[in-house]
Amino acid sequence: MSFLDYAPAPESRSVVHLRPSYGLFIDGAFVDGHGTPFPTISPATEEHLAEVATADEHDVDLAVAAARKAYDRVWSRMSGADRGKYLFRIARLVQERARELAVAESLNNGKPIKESRDLDIPLVAAWFFYYAGWADKLDYAGLGANPKALGVAGQIIPWNFPLLMLAWKIAPALAAGNTVVLKPAETTPLTALLFAEILQQADLPPGVVNIVTGAGATGQSLVRHPGVDKIAFTGSTAVGREIARATAGTGKRLTLELGGKAANIVFDDAPFDQAIEGVVNGIFFNQGHVCCAGSRLLVQENVHDDVVDRLKQRLSTLRLGDPLDKNTDIGAINSAEQLERIRELTAVGEQEGATPWSPACEIPENGFWFAPTIFTGVQSSSRIAREEVFGPVLSILTFRTPQEAIAKANNTPYGLSAGIWSDKGSRILAVADGLKAGVVWSNTFNRFDPASPFGGYKESGYGREGGKQGLSAYLAPSGGVS
Amino acid sequence: MTIDTGAGARPAGAAPSAGAARALDLLDGPVTDTTLRRYLEGIPGVDAVGLEQRAASLGTRSIKTTSKAMALDRIIELVDLTTLEGADTPGKVRSLVAKAITPDPSDPSCPRVAAVCVYGDLVPVAVEALGSLHAPKARAAGNGEGIAVAAVATAFPSGRASREVKLADVADAVRNGADEIDMVIDRGAFLAGRYGQVFEEIVAVKEACRRPDGNDAHLKVILEVGELVTYDNVRRASWLSVLAGADFIKTSTGKVTSNATLPVTLLMLEVVRDWHRMTGEKVGVKPAGGIRTSKDAIKYLVTVAETAGEEWLQPHLFRFGASSLLNDVLLQRQKLHSGHYSGADYVTID
Amino acid sequence: MSRLAVPKTYKLYIGGKFPRSESGRSYEVVSAEGAFLANAAQASRKDARDAVVAARAAGKGWAGTTAYNRGQVLYRIAELLEGRRVQFVDELVRSEGLTSERAEAAVDLAIDRWVWYAGWADKYAQVLGNGNPVAGPYFNLSVPEPTGVVAIIGPQTGEGHSLVGFVSAVAPALVAGNTVVVVASEKAPLSAISLSEVLATSDVPGGVVNVLTGSPQEIAPWLASHADVNALDLVGAGALDWVQLQVDAAETLKRVLAPEDGVGAAAPSLDRISAFTETKTVWHTKGLL
C-alpha cells in the first residue's frame, strides 16, 4: 500500500438536511412556482438531490412586487445602522452554519470540500461582515453626502461559486439600501435556498431578498422587468452582451462581471516553486470554473522546458475525485453541458497542433469529469488561447521580453485578471501598469477579499464588486439616479 | 582563494570526496567564495507568502483510518529519538535506548525508531546499550536495520570553536561508534557571506566521518534555520550543504527559539527534490525541534510524499529529530487499535 | 478703408493633422440667421475609422505621461484659449447667434472648465483609488486607469454648446489619459475646429483628440459598433436613435454614457472622469522572510 493512496476521508453529509422539494422564496416565504419544477443533482454522481421550482414571468413579477413593497415601506426607511445589523446577523448565521453550507455547496456544485470549506463559505461570511459595516457610512462611499439606493436590484449569478456570488451581489445591495430579486444558476440553486432559510432565521423583513430559481428564461424575465432599477450579472460574456442590449435605453443601471482569459506571466527570475503553485492554483482551482482563471500561462522562453517539467511533476500529485473527500483537489465538472464544451475546445486545441498532457488519474464512472490538462505548443492564434474554456485546461505560450509578455497578455478582448511572477519589484510594477486587467496578482493568484475591488476591462464587463467601488455600484448621488 | 575540497586529507589516489565532486561538477570550476556566491545568489528567490501557503495547504490533508495507521508506524520508524541536555547521564541514555528498542511494551507489533541521538561523549553508552541491535551489528547479523547512533558534533549547538576542535569532536564520536554525525554549520560565516568557509568545513567534517573500513558515518548538516531567519538563506544554505557533500540536511539544533517548521522543511525538500532531478542523487531531510504531536508529524509525511516523493519516507532519507513526539504517536496508535482514547500513564517515560 | 477678409477652411482634425474628408464631401454651415459661414468637412465612416486608429495609436503615450505633465498640458489649452478669446467669441456669435456678452461668458466658462479639469489630472486617482485592507499578507491597491478610446457624440443643442458643451465632454475624458474621437456640433462646428487648432499648437500630442464634423446620425453608428472603441459618450445623441447606438455598443461591452439635454449637459463632475476609468487592483505578497 502506498502512503499517497490516502484512505477516503469524506466529509459527513449528515449536517445537510435537504427537503425533497424547494419553492421560490418570495416575500419572506417559500411559495410554489408556476413553471415546471426541475431536478437538481450532484454533478459528481448524478444523484438526484431535490426538486426545485421554476419561476415564470408571473412569479418574477410577484418577486419584484414584493421587493418594491419592501423597498418602499421598510428597507428604504430603515436606518443604515439597522440595515447593517441585519447584515451582521446574516454574517454570523453563515459562520454558524458554515459546515452545512460547505457540504451543500460541494454536493450541488461538485467543487472539492476543502475549497467550499476553506474559501467559498468563509468569504461569504466575510462579504456580509464587510458590507454590514458600510450600511450606516454611505456618505463615505465616494458619491457625496446622502447617496440614494437605486431601488430594486435584479441579480443573476453563475454556478461556479453559487453562494459566494450570491454574497457578492446581495451584501452590497442591501448595505446600500436596495432590495433584491436574485436568480441563482439553474444547476446550483441549493445553497441559495438554504440561504433563504438563514434570512428567515435572521428575521430579515419579508421581500427585502427574494430568490427565484429557474433557467435562462427566468433570468430574462428579471432583466426585462420594468420594475427593476438595477441589474447585476455575473456569467458569460455572451449573456452579458444580451443583457446590455436588453437594458439599453431603459435607464436600468447595469454591472457585468463576465468572462476572462487571464495570462499568468512567469519571468525567468520567478520564485519558481511558488510560481508553479500559483499556476496550478490559477487554472485548476475550482476545476478551472473561474472567470479570472489563469488559463494562459505565458512563460519566458528560456525557462519554458523547466517550468513545464515542474508543472507536470506537480500535477501528478493532484487528486481528482469525490468532492466531499477532504483530500480532493479536483472535483467534478458542474454539468454535462459544460463538460461537452471543454471536450469540444480541447479537441480543437489538438487539431490546431497543440500538445495536450494530463497526469494519470482515474476518472469516476458516474458524473461529469475532466482530467487536469495542459497544452504546450499553443500559439496566440489558437482557439484554446483565445476562448474561455472554463475548465481545467491550461494553454502554455512563451514570450521573450517584458514588452512582448504585456502585448501577448493584452491581446484578447477580455481583461479581467492577470498574474505576474518575478523577483524584481520594479518589473512587476511596470508590467502591472501595462496590463489591461482589472485585477493583477503579483507572485500570487486567485486571491479574493471583500475589501478588494474585482472586475474587468473590455469584454470582461463593467463595474467592480468588492470594496468601496462595489458599494457605489448600488448607489446614486443624492441628486438622483443619473 | 580556492577552497580545500578535502583532497589534502585523503590518501593519495583516493577518489575525490563526494562534496568536492558535486561542487566541481555544478560550479564547473574551482570552488571559491566567488563561484559559490555566484551560484547560490543566482538561485531564484523564495516568496515567503507562497511557500507558507503551500505548506498550510499540505497541512490540510486529512489522513484517516488505514492511512493514519500506516503514517503512525512510519513516523516511529523515522524518529531520531533524542536527548541533548547538559544533564544527560549514562542512565538517561540507557533509558532512551530502551525506549528506542521497545517504544510500546504493550504492543510487540510497534516498530522501532531509526536512531538515538546523543552528545558525542555518550555514544559509547548508547552503543553498548543497543548491543546486538546497534545498526552495524544488526545488519552484519542479518537482523534487520537495527538502530543507529547519531551524535551531535562540531561544538554543537553554537558551532563556535576552532576547526581543529570541531574535527576532533567528530573524529571522537566516529571512533566511539557513532553511525551518524549531526554537525552544525558556521552560521556566523554564512551570514557574513563567507560561503567558502562553510563549504570547506562541511567537506572537512565529511572527511572526518570516514572510517578506515569504508563504513563511513553519515553526515547530517544542521542549518539552524532559526538563526538564518530568511527562506532565501535557508535555500542557499541547503544548496551549499548538499554541494559540500551532506547526506542529510537538518533544520535545527532544537536549542534556539525557532526550530523546524513545515514551510522551512518544505523548502528544504524542494532543494533535495531539485538536486535529485539534476543529478539523480538522493539527499535526506531532517526536521528537528518543535514537532511534538502526531498531527504535526503527519503533515510532514504528507509534505515529504507530495514534494520529494514517497520514496523519501525511509529512514535513510527522512528523519524526525524528536523526543516527546514518540509518546504522542504511541497514544494515537493505541487509540487507533483499541478504538478508545488512551492516557499518559499508558505510555512510558524514558 | 475696407479690406477683403481671408476666410478659413474648416477641416477635420485627425491624428494631429487637418485633413478634408476622405469622401471629398463638405456641407454648408450657416449662421443662426441662415447666412453662409463655411463649408465644413462632412466626415464619413472611413474618417471615423481613421480617427479611431489615430486615437488608439496615441493612447499609450497619453496614458503614459505623468499626471503632473498631463495636467500641465490641459492647463496649457486654457492658456492658449485665453489668448484667442476674441476669435472664439466671434465664432459663437456668428454660428450660435449669441450676443457678444453671452458669447464672452461662454468662452470664459469653457476656459475655466479646462482649468478645473486640468487640476484634477494628478488628484482623481487619489480620490477614486484606495489601499485595501485585505485579510492576508498582501499589499493591495486600487487605482483608476484610462478606459482607452472614447467616442463622444458632442452636444448638439443648448446655448454655447458648440464650445462649452464640446469642452465639457472632451476634457474629463482626457484627464484620466483616454484619447477621444468626438463628433462636433453638426449645426455649429466652427468652434470645435478652431479649438482643434488650439490643440494642434498646444502640447496635446496628435491623435489624443480627434474631431469629426458632419452628421452625427451618419457617423455615430460606426463609432458605436467599432470594436476598437472602448467607451461611448452619447451626451449629444439625444436626437438620434441612441438606444440603438447603445445596443450596438453592447456588442463589445463598451461603457456608455446616456444623452443629456440643454446647457447643463456634461456638467463638470468627478463622475465624468471616473466614468471612463477602469479600476485596476494590484495585489502583491508581503513577506519578511
Q: Residue B153 and residue B172: Cα distance in Å, rounded?
A: 9
Over range A440-450, report the average pLDDT.
98
Q: Residue C72 and residue C203: Cα distance in Å, rounded?
A: 9
Over range A408-427, report the average pLDDT.
97
Q: Residue B342 and residue A330: Cα distance in Å, rounded?
A: 37
A-C C-beta contacts closer than 8 Å: 108
Choosing from B99, B286, B296, B299, which is the catalytic residue?
Answer: B286
**Which of C138, C286, C289 has its CB closest to that of B230?**
C289
Residue A482 confidence (pLDDT) above 50: no
Chain B closest-CA separation from residue C281 CA (Å): 19
At residue B2, the pLDDT reads 55
Domains, chain C: 26-285 (3.40.605.10)
**Residue B344 located in a structural domain:** no
Give percent above pLDDT 90 in chain B: 86
- For residue A41 the three cell numbers come to 443533482
Residue B10 confidence (pLDDT) above 50: no
Give the confidence band of A223 by pLDDT, cuts at 50, 70, 90.
Answer: very high
**Which of B44, B277, B310 has its CB closest to that of A423?**
B44
Q: Residue C158 and residue C92: Cα distance in Å, rounded?
A: 12
Contact B270 A278 (CB under 8 A): no
At residue C1, the pLDDT reads 65
C246 Cβ under 8 Å from any chain A Cβ: yes
Contact A274 B313 (CB under 8 A): no
**Residue B7 located in a structural domain:** no
Over range A211-228, report the average pLDDT.
98
Q: What is the DSSP string of A61-95?
A: HHHHHHHHHHIIIIITTS-HHHHHHHHHHHHHHHH
Residue B6 confidence (pLDDT) above 50: no
Contact B229 C287 (CB under 8 A): no
Q: Cell 499578507 maps to which residue?
A: C137
Over range C26-34, report the average pLDDT.
95
CB A467 within 8 A of CB A451: yes
Q: Residue C242 and residue C141: Cα distance in Å, rounded?
A: 36
Q: Residue A316 and residue B306: Cα distance in Å, rounded?
A: 9
At residue B251, the pLDDT reads 98
- For residue A74 the three cell numbers come to 421598510
At residue B20, the pLDDT reads 59
A200 Cβ under 8 Å from any chain B Cβ: no
Over range A116-120, report the average pLDDT.
98
Average pLDDT, chain A: 97
Chain B closest-CA separation from residue A430 CA (Å): 19
CB C258 within 8 A of CB C272: no
**Phi, psi of C277, rounded to the nearest 5 degrees:** -125, 160
Chain centre distance of CA C172: 8
**Which of C136, C138, C289 has its CB closest to that of B48?**
C289
User: What number is the ipTM of this complex?
Assistant: 0.96
Measured between alpha carbons, how far apart are the two ends of chain B, in Å? Answer: 50
Q: How does pLDDT run across B178-212, given as a tens digit for each residue?
A: 999 999 999 999 999 999 999 999 999 999 999 98
Contact C285 B49 (CB under 8 A): yes
* Selected residue with higher pLDDT from B11 and B300: B300
**Residue B1 located in a structural domain:** no
- For residue A356 the three cell numbers come to 495536450
State whether residue C267 is helix, strand or coil.
Answer: coil
At residue B3, the pLDDT reads 57
Chain centre distance of CA B348: 25
At residue C207, the pLDDT reads 98
Determine the residue among A265, A442, A457 to mutate to test chain C binding: the one whose Cβ has the most chain C Cβ atoms within 10 Å: A457
Over range A2-23, report the average pLDDT.
96
At residue B14, the pLDDT reads 39
What residue type is B300 in one-letter code? Y
Chain centre distance of CA C203: 16
Q: How does pLDDT run across C39-74, given as a tens digit for each residue?
A: 999 999 999 999 999 999 999 999 999 999 999 999
Residue A391 confidence (pLDDT) above 80: yes
Known catalytic residue: B286?
yes
Q: How does pLDDT run across B135-175, given as a tens digit for each residue?
A: 999 999 999 999 999 999 999 999 999 999 999 999 999 99
Cα-based angle B164, B166, B167 (whole degrees, multiple of 5): 65
* Selected residue with higher pLDDT from A481 and A39: A39
**Residue B94 located in a structural domain:** yes
* Selected residue with higher pLDDT from A428 and B20: A428
At residue B4, the pLDDT reads 55
Known catalytic residue: B182?
yes
Chain A closest-CA separation from residue B60 CA (Å): 8
Entry field: residues in chain C: 289
At residue B17, the pLDDT reads 54
Q: What residues of C are in contact with residue A458 (Cβ under 8 Å)?
A: 230, 252-253
Chain C closest-CA separation from residue B47 CA (Å): 7
For residue A39, the number of C-alpha atoms closer than 13 Å in the C-beta half-sphere is: 8
Domain limits for position B192? 17-338
Give percent above pLDDT 70 in chain C: 100
Entry field: residues in chain B: 350
* Selected residue with higher pLDDT from B15 and B106: B106
CB A186 within 8 A of CB A38: yes
Strands A417-421 and A263-266: parallel
Give percent above pLDDT 70 in chain A: 99
**Residue B215 located in a structural domain:** yes
Give the confidence band of B350 by pLDDT, cuts at 50, 70, 90.
Answer: confident
Q: Cell 557571506 maps to which residue?
A: B193
Q: What residues of A are in contact with residue B313 (Cβ under 8 Å)?
A: 3
List of chains touching C (3+ CB pairs within 8 A): A, B
Residue C269 confidence (pLDDT) above 70: yes
Contact C253 A461 (CB under 8 A): yes
Give percent above pLDDT 90 in chain A: 99
Average pLDDT, chain B: 92
At residue B8, the pLDDT reads 40
For residue A58, the number of C-alpha atoms closer than 13 Å in the C-beta half-sphere is: 5
**What are the helix (H) ranges across chain B?**
18-27, 33-42, 48-58, 65-77, 90-101, 123-130, 135-140, 163-175, 187-191, 195-208, 225-228, 231-244, 262-279, 294-307, 325-338
Over range C107-129, report the average pLDDT.
97
Q: How does pLDDT run across A126-151, given as a tens digit for each residue?
A: 999 999 999 999 999 999 999 999 99
* H/E segment holding residue C202: none
Chain centre distance of CA B340: 34
B230 Cβ under 8 Å from any chain A Cβ: no
CB C16 within 8 A of CB C205: yes
Q: Is the four-CA dihedral B227, B230, B234, B239 of positive or negative sign?
A: negative
Contact B50 C286 (CB under 8 A): no
Q: Which of A241-245, A422-426, B4-8 has the lowest mean pLDDT?
A: B4-8
Q: Residue C121 and residue B106: Cα distance in Å, rounded?
A: 79
Give the confidence band of B18 by pLDDT, cuts at 50, 70, 90.
Answer: low
Chain C closest-CA separation from residue B256 CA (Å): 17
**Which of B66, B277, B306 has its CB closest to that of A7?**
B66
CATH number at residue B314: 3.20.20.70
Q: What is the DSSP string of C117-143?
A: HHHHTTTHHHHH-EE---SSSEEEEEE
Contact C247 A245 (CB under 8 A): yes
DSSP, res A412: S
**Cis peptide preceding C133, ω within 30 of 0:** no
Contact B62 A327 (CB under 8 A): yes
Number of domains in chain B: 1
List of chains touching B (3+ CB pairs within 8 A): A, C
At residue A80, the pLDDT reads 98
CB B256 within 8 A of CB B226: yes
State whether residue A377 is helix, strand or coil.
Answer: coil
- For residue B303 the three cell numbers come to 509534505
* Selected residue with higher pLDDT from B15 and C90: C90
A305 Cβ under 8 Å from any chain B Cβ: no
A2 Cβ under 8 Å from any chain B Cβ: yes
Choosing from A11, A105, A186, A257, which is the catalytic residue?
Answer: A257
Choosing from B80, B179, B182, B296, which is the catalytic residue?
Answer: B182
Please state whether C215 falls in left (phi above 0), alpha (psi between -120 and 50) or beta.
beta
Minimum CA–CA partner of A256 in chain C: C253
Entry field: residues in chain A: 482
Q: What residues of C are in contact with residue B47 (Cβ under 8 Å)?
A: 285, 287
Residues 407-436 of A with CB under 8 A from B: 423
Residue B105 confidence (pLDDT) above 90: yes
Q: What are the DSSP E strand ranges found in chain C?
A: 26-30, 36-41, 130-131, 138-146, 149-153, 179-183, 209-212, 231-233, 255-257, 277-285
Choosing from B99, B166, B220, B250, which is the catalytic residue?
Answer: B250
Residue C183 confidence (pLDDT) above 70: yes
Chain A closest-CA separation from residue C140 CA (Å): 7
Residue B112 confidence (pLDDT) above 90: yes
Q: Which of A371, A391, A373, A379 is nearest to A354 (CA)?
A: A379
Contacts 24+ apart (CB under 8 A), A334-337: A334/A43, A334/A109, A334/A110, A334/A159, A334/A160, A334/A187, A334/A188, A334/A287, A334/A289, A334/A368, A335/A43, A335/A159, A335/A187, A335/A368, A336/A368
